[in-house]
Structure 1
Amino acid sequence: MSLELTFRPDTHLTEVMRLRVQSLQQRGQGRQDGERLLRPNEAVYRLDFPRQALSFSRWSAGPVQTGRLTITATSQLWTPDLTNLMTRQLLEPVAVFWRSPGDSGAAAVRCYEADAHELGERIAESARVRKVMYFLFAFADGCGPQAVDCSITFTADR
């Protein structure tokens, strides 16, 4: 059985992380040692797993227009107190998807296939013990949240 899951923006968590950056700037303070602050071109997305026994199948991801999307998975389980994101909680590898200027509308979105495949497998492994997973989406080269269509397909293990 095939199961396609769509990444959803977590606007509340993104806003809280932006407020953390703003608060540090206003007080003239820097980040904690090892803390990873949200950059202006980044947003937090989430993936909810209705089943835990999954195997990675394929990505359907990337910008629908010229631009670059980088997806970084986190091992962070955000709690109600919204603990800070630490660099050690970012998983490798990242998945990078892009469309170059001059690509026709029918051209496939490009990616670093080995990295994207490995990240997909790591997400499937995490799904075995989690109901939700969080990701940092970084937008570049003209790509933005409104121009991204992103989902991941798994096969459900029996």
Structure 2
Amino acid sequence: MERIKRRLEGEIEIRVAGGDAFHEIFLSRPHHISNVNPEFVQDCELHEGSFGKQGSKICWRYTLDGQALLAKAILELIDEENKMIRFNVIEGDLLKEYKYFVATYQVIPEDEEKSLVKWTFEYEKLHPGIPEPTNLMDALVRLAKEIDDHHHSQAK
């Protein structure tokens, strides 16, 4: 049986300054994300390297659908010019269902007032009965909006 490599994308429009805040928090201060949405992300721990440095290993503790989960990922790519980061999951609950799982986000300026946060998952299911990771995508899209709202409430 041939396994199928898959791709899932989600995006949300945020305010332009929120795009900078979103990128900065995921790059340099991911451990602060739990301050924005502690119901989703409980902890982000650095296991190797430095926050904001390519090759760093980060352990995420999060809750999805009422389940406490863990994902250890390598910060595989940082593209400052395009405000893009790629995480490659190397350990944790996602790998119980997927052969590999890579999550990338990019902040794309639309105009002077708006940016787009685009999430992309690339993965391969271990077997056909595994669901698509739409619940995780929905949670990360919501998180982008919450980071934007949090940034703007702090700026006032």
TM-score under structure 1 length normalisation: 0.31
| Bigger relative CO (Cα 8 Å, ≥ 6 apart) | 1
TM-score under structure 2 length normalisation: 0.31
Bigger Rg, structure 1 or 2: 1
Structure number having the greater strand percentage? 2
